[in-house]
Homo-oligomer: A and B are copies of this chain.
């Protein structure tokens, strides 16, 4: 069995992009793999996910999460520069980690969001994909995955919204929405 790291994309307007990435992280951890999660938007992984990852990590410390971006809601004067530099710092972390044989899977959560705002260039994207070790899986999540990423990916899934509880007037529920 050859090991070939895949470039995987979860995109679309529906739910489950980050949730399926969390599922992949957990499954990979269970398979003895080493998983790094990089958050391009602060707060996209909340208490429940963080507590579960901490618990897994206490059993075998091969899963780690690092926040790098700002929150979705940070706007106003200077916010764009702050967003850009937060994204670039995390991108640098990704590049550094990719070159080492430290991780079998790296999840770039909400990468697509940061890319669609112009904070990440096509050169950066190509470098991420080409610099990684052959065996490292890269998972990109977020709406509006750029065509350049889809072209370079091995596995692309679109999460399509068929029906949402807000449409029925039901409020956000703990453990589901957050």
**Residues of A bordering B, CB below 8 Å:** 1-4, 6, 8-12, 14-16, 18-24, 26-31, 33, 46-53, 55-56, 58-60, 104-105, 137, 150, 153-165, 168, 170-171, 173-176
Given contacts A6-B165, A26-B26, A173-B3, contact A160 B16 (CB under 8 A): no
Contact A30 B51, beta carbon cutoff 8 Å: yes
Which of A2, A50, A59 lies at the interface centre, i.e. has the most chain B CB atoms within 10 A of its CB? A59
Contact B157 A161, beta carbon cutoff 8 Å: yes
Residue in contact with A55 in the complex, picked from B1, B12, B55, B153, CB distance below 8 Å: B55
List 26 interface pairs A-B (beta carbons < 8 Å), by A numbering: A1-B171, A4-B170, A4-B173, A8-B176, A15-B155, A16-B16, A18-B23, A19-B20, A20-B20, A20-B23, A23-B23, A27-B49, A28-B48, A28-B176, A30-B51, A30-B52, A30-B53, A31-B47, A33-B174, A52-B56, A55-B56, A56-B56, A156-B161, A157-B159, A158-B162, A159-B160
